[in-house]
Amino acid sequence: MAIQKKFAQNEFENIYYHNLYNGYNYSSRDYAFFKRASDIETHTKGEWQEMVDFFNNLCCNCESEVIGKPCKDHIIPKSSGGSNSIRNVQPLCRECNTSKGPYQIDYRDDFCLRHGLDLPVKWQLNG
């Protein structure tokens, strides 16, 4: 069955159609779950920049200085039901984001412990 490439209306559809075009077979249940996860919450550019500034433009895992923009890593992946909330993202370098894969790892707490910082409550997953 040939899959026609569609133009995405939003970020969710962009990911969904990209995966579908590249051979991932979604069931209608997968589609509904994935769509619901991306609709739950979102964050603003200002909230993301505030988090990047808090971590001094460093990767939360390897602590290397990120050249350009850090990757927005979803602690609980959107494909596993995670939201796009500021509580569920962390700045990582491209290498750490890629090597983390689909696992649910929050590097922010360890970073804060190593640097004597307190992670703001508004960013805590259980906050």
Q: What is the pLDDT of residues 50-83, one digit of tens each?
A: 999 999 999 999 999 998 899 999 999 888 888 8
Stretch among 26-35, 44-53, 86-95 having the lowest mean pLDDT: 26-35
Is 7 a residue whose pLDDT tops 60? no
Is 6 a residue whose pLDDT tops 80? no
The mean pLDDT value for 37-55 works out to: 85
pLDDT at 101: 87
Q: For residue 1, what pLDDT band results from cuts at 50, 70 and 90?
A: very low
Is 34 a residue whose pLDDT tops 60? no
pLDDT at 75: 95
Q: What is the pTM of this model?
A: 0.69
Quote the tokens at residue 25: 């077979």
Nearest to 91 by CA among 117, 122, 56, 40: 56
pLDDT at 125: 86
**CB neighbour burial string for 32-55, b if at least 16 within 10 angstroms, e if fewer:** eebeebbeeeebeeebbeebbebb
